[in-house]
Amino acid sequence: MTIDEAAAAGGEGASRTFAAPIPAALLDAPLEFILVDHVRQRSLCAAFRRFTRQGYVDRAEADAVVTYLRHDVDLHYRDEEEDLFPSLLRRVPPEDDLEATLARLVANHRQSRTMIEAIIAVLAKRAGPGPIRLGPAARKLLLAYAASEHHHLAVENGIVLAIARVRLTRGDLTAISATMKGRHGVGA
């Protein structure tokens, strides 16, 4: 499959909802907050496929992506690695074998962080006032990130959040909500 075919397979998805902040009130329902963050990440993947198809990124949109990647993604990974995943491991019986799944997701986060640094390096380049042109390596990088993130989100929505809804207690959710509020700079 060529880069153009792979990009076209991702659908139109010209939405920019990744740049829209999540209402702070949703931190009272931390699993919903994480789910909405996943919707934003899906929209980022759709934007990356669109950039790859068109071969360039407008300055303003590149800036929005860089801001999102620098701030929001890190907060999301920390919500999962420091709150959601450890809380789940305390509640889920060993026979559910969730530990291996969560370890793979954390390893994915590490790989994503490396890709994100490379994507920021491409999009934060200031070579002039016009749009940022994407060469073959940059297009491949954006598509690789989108494909890997797409799989990651499917596992988190389909397995991790599904189990969390059943296993986490009201007390667990209250505790997660409180630490997430601190992390996101919202008064508890």
What are the residues binding Fe ion (CB under 5 A)?
80, 156
d(CA 112, CA 116): 6
H helical segments located in 124-158:
136-155
Cβ burial 44-66 (10 Å sphere, 16+ → b, else e): bbbbbbbbbbebebeeebbebbb
* Nearer of residues 63 and 82 to Fe ion, judged by Cβ: 82
Q: Provide the minimum distance between the beta carbon of 144 and Fe ion in the complex, in angstroms, as a whole number.
A: 17
* DSSP SS3 for 56: strand
* Nearer of residues 79 and 172 to Fe ion, judged by Cβ: 79
Q: Provide the minimum distance between the beta carbon of 41 and Fe ion in the complex, in angstroms, as a whole number.
A: 7
Q: Provide the minimum distance between the beta carbon of 76 and Fe ion in the complex, in angstroms, as a whole number.
A: 6
Using Cβ positions, the residue closest to Fe ion within the complex turns out to be 156
Query: Cα torsion for 9, 13, 14, 19, to the nearest 10°?
Result: -130
* Nearer of residues 104 and 133 to Fe ion, judged by Cβ: 104
Q: Provide the minimum distance between the beta carbon of 31 and Fe ion in the complex, in angstroms, as a whole number.
A: 11
* Nearer of residues 40 and 139 to Fe ion, judged by Cβ: 40
